[in-house]
Amino acid sequence: MLVRVSAAVVAIIASTFTLLERVPILVTQLGSRGIAVASPLPSTTSSTAAPVTSTTVAPTTARAKVAFTPPPTAPATTGATWEEQVGNQALQLIHYPIASTGFTVHFLPARAGYYGLTEPGTRRINIYVRPGEGVAYTARILAHEVGHAVDIAFNSDARRAEWRRLRGIASTAWFSCSGCTDFSTPAGDFAEAFAYWQVHSADYRSVLAAPPSAAQVAQLMPLFNR
């Protein structure tokens, strides 16, 4: 009986050493597996702004960058840059006669700090297209800037007073400083509401009033036209 117990103990000890010898091998095998690890998102800043010389500043919310691939449906425009290819598709999502404002639209390479710039003096809308920003987001930026062009081209003091009344906005200065963020100004609210009407983007940034309802859009429509 005693001999058998000793043999069993020896067998257990031998098995333990065998298992211990196997541990490094198992760890190595597990360590060699490709395990996906989440990488931190790049700190891309983005925000939209629009003053008298209205602008759309890069939004302050983080947006993940992806490698840009020209859209497969990009129009075959001879000599067009990829910014223009994306921009031309974005234009198709804007259902407004931009030419009626007297402004022209230009799609340009990325510019640090800005997504768009509307220049009253030169009647230009500059959209700075960034790699990784698709057609839909470019259209959202474009719609905001077109809103500024409409405001500059057609709105009078009386029309702006009517806008404030309909939107429940206090009588504050209509514009912010040139090149500054305008989400807290009536001009920015006008551009954001116009963009919401055009592309219905969830990325709504006015802090003065909520996105307009369908019923309110019907009230605002006369102020979106000549």
pLDDT number for residue 78: 59
Would the pLDDT of 14 be above 70?
no
CB 126 within 8 A of CB 84: no
Would the pLDDT of 209 be above 60?
yes
pLDDT digits (tens, 9 = 90+) for 97-123: 999 999 999 999 999 999 999 999 999
pLDDT number for residue 151: 98
pTM, full prediction: 0.69
The single residue listed with the structure tokens 């510019």 is 111
Contacts for 140 with CB less than 8 Å, ≥ 6 apart: 195, 199, 201, 203
Give CB contacts under 8 A, 24+ apart, made by 150-155.
Answer: 150/96, 150/101, 150/194, 150/224, 151/54, 151/187, 151/190, 151/191, 151/194, 152/54, 152/101, 152/118, 152/120, 153/100, 153/101, 153/102, 153/103, 153/226, 154/101, 154/223, 154/225, 154/226, 155/190, 155/223
CB 44 within 8 A of CB 62: yes
